[in-house]
Copies of this chain bind each other. A is one copy, B any other.
Amino acid sequence: MKKLMNDPKQFVPEMMKGIELANPGTIKYVPEYNLVMRADAPNPNKVSIVQGSGSGHEPAHIMVVGKGMLDGACPGDVFSAPPMDYVVESSKILNSPKGILHIVNNYSGDRMSFEMATEMLDMEGVTVKTIFVDDDVAVQNSTWTVGRRGVAGNFFVIKAVGAAAEAGASLDELVELGKKVNSRLRSMGMALTGCTPPAKGKPIFTLEEDEIEMGVGIHGEPGRARKKLASANEIADEMLEAILTDRKPIPGGDDREEPIFHEGDEVALMINGLGGTPISELYIVYGHVHEELEKRGIKIWRSYVGEYCTSLEMAGMSITLCKVDDQLKELFTAPAEIPIRVF
């Protein structure tokens, strides 16, 4: 294992400390609960937004804390859901009279921690509501996961509710908005290589020199199939097809929703790097997907090319489409200030 790190146990705390030091005055780190928060939160005139999930997906979510995005993120260790009391205590620290919104990627561990925390917080009189993100179309069948997984699309949910919260939206309005964004999101990922959690010291899976994992999850969980390496265009075509023809299962039944993207639609298009893939390759994929969508009469309203939700140093990428309307366009382009920035 070759990493820039000191003690594997301090991997997450030292990273968090680094974020705090890099953002004096705007970001605060609360070591007891792995909490990275806005230094000026909670704001009594604004719903506080909190996200958990495991670490190792940076910039998701500790680096998207800030004005117009999250008020706090309290991840667990690398690829582990946060223990419930991180969520409880973080939510109490960030409690606002307007309530707390939890955003949860639909992974069993994350769900359970947040659901338990909500019950605890309810008992203590803290008002909490939750949005679940499940944008990953790769694993259609809920046998191996309970519902679909939440992946890079969560960025759009956070951006939208973050902007709306800043503008004063109520907790119920944010829940509605979050559900709306989630219902318009579809993602799929693929891996060229595995990745190595610091405490484990060994890759969580390995691929042959000519193999890829199509539909990989953000912790390296298996996707649809292990396939032969193909050209960027072929890989992107397969993923795009999966996204465009996707029919989301209707919860509790055998039925499925209709595909959501149609000719004439406008979309936000994200090509997300998984951590080890250079941005040059992401733009090669972007160019092709852009042209394929335009061919189908789907207009790219805005591009998002870079790292949004990663799996440590895994090489690979995911494609996310979010169908936009005037409301979402405004929210997606509203100002926001987070640690992850260029200037």
- Scan residues 255-284 of chain A and give those whose CB is less than 8 A from a CB of chain B: 275-284
- Scan residues 1-47 of chain A and give those whose CB is less than 8 A from a CB of chain B: 2-6, 11, 14-19, 21-23
Please tell me how many copies of the chain the complex holds: 2
Do A285 and B4 touch across chains, with their CB atoms under 8 A apart?
yes
Query: Interface on chain A toward B: helix, strand, loop, or mixed SS?
Result: mixed
- Scan residues 274-329 of chain A and give those whose CB is less than 8 A from a CB of chain B: 275-288, 290-291, 300, 303-307, 310, 312-313, 315, 317
Do A192 and B343 touch across chains, with their CB atoms under 8 A apart?
no
- Cβ of A340 within 8 Å of any chain B Cβ, yes or no, is yes
Known contacts: A286-B18, A287-B17. The answer to whether A342 contacts B340 by CB under 8 A is yes
Contact of A58 among B2, B22, B23, B280 (CB under 8 A): B280
Contact of A159 among B278, B285, B313, B343 (CB under 8 A): B343
- Name the residue on B nearest A209 (C-beta): B2
Do A276 and B21 touch across chains, with their CB atoms under 8 A apart?
no
Residues of A within 8 A of B (CB-CB), count: 65
Do B343 and A333 touch across chains, with their CB atoms under 8 A apart?
yes
Known contacts: A4-B317, A291-B21. The answer to whether A11 contacts B279 by CB under 8 A is no
Binding site for B on A (CB under 8 A): 2-6, 11, 14-19, 21-23, 55-56, 58-59, 63, 159, 192-193, 209, 229, 231-233, 235, 275-288, 290-291, 300, 303-307, 310, 312-313, 315, 317, 332-333, 336, 338-343
